[in-house]
Structure 1
Amino acid sequence: MDILTTKEIAEKLNVNEETVRRWIRDGKLDAEDLGKGYGYRVSSKELERFLTEHKGWTRAVSSAITGTTMGAAVGSLIPGVGTLLGSALGLAVGSLFEKTMVFLNDDKLDPKNVEKMRFELVVKKLSLEKEILELEAKISSHQHELTLLKHELKTINELLPVVENKLQK
């Protein structure tokens, strides 16, 4: 059984650490208080119970984890991106999805908040489109560099036997 800190839970759920502490103080999330300077510890089973009772969080967290995993997988397939950047991109998308799911599961939707969320999604969409274009340009540039390096290596491989042959004479 894993034991989590309030900070770890806050990072997993993309909320402020104080929010996690408030859930604990309000009795929504059971935790062990280790005393001043040590904070709270929550079992993974307890966190699972909490997330099950707050189903919007459960879907959001699983999508954030899926986003990170898929981002890493995609990143590992794209030359010049790598799994770390892919994970970061996946986490960003998963985190945004999480925030949106939590927001949409709120029964008291204020039209102003819905418009604000739409605006945030449009801004994020534009930002992601820009990042994609920049990455595609970098990939294209790296592919060109790779072609040049391969050509240079081929030339050296052709010249090396000629030079070695001259040395033997």
Structure 2
Amino acid sequence: MKRKVVNSLETNLRTTKEISELLNVSEESVRRWIRNGDLKAQLDGKSYLVDEETLNKFIQERAKVPGTTISKTVATEVALSAINPIIKGLITAGAAGLLNKAAKTKLNNGAGTSHVTSNDETIELKDIKIYIEALQRKKKKIELEYQMKLLEIEDEIAGYMVLMDKTKKSENS
């Protein structure tokens, strides 16, 4: 892979960290895609930079492959973007009030589809449930990342404890 040094001040370039946050993957995954030639990048010092157009093409290609992290992320983003105006309405009007109205509407409508109309927007409970599930998955991911960081620190502590014990034994000998 031919690497060229570029000016990092160009606005349409993204770092591996930005890409990893955008795609909800590790920075190492992004670097691996670059090393494997799957994602074309330019070298800026010791860092990689990816053009937005190249990144968008890469995302579109990977989104078509079922079961990949990107396809799952894109599917979630599509679902969230479809209900984004609804969520803005929830935040503006107060989620609790709208959910209470939705519950009352459901009771009044019987078995019909439950929804609340606010500012000409329809809020369906299934859309709210999808958003809640996405937030719960995000929460679980953060909890798991936190646990992984704790384990890494515990491993490092254990390594230093072993080193300390060896040092003490060699000093006593």
Sort the TM-score into its range (normalised by shorter chain): 0.3 to 0.5
Greater percentage in helix: 1
Higher RCO by CA contacts (8 Å cutoff, separation 6 or greater): 1
Greater percentage in strand: 2
**TM-score, normalisation: structure 1:** 0.41
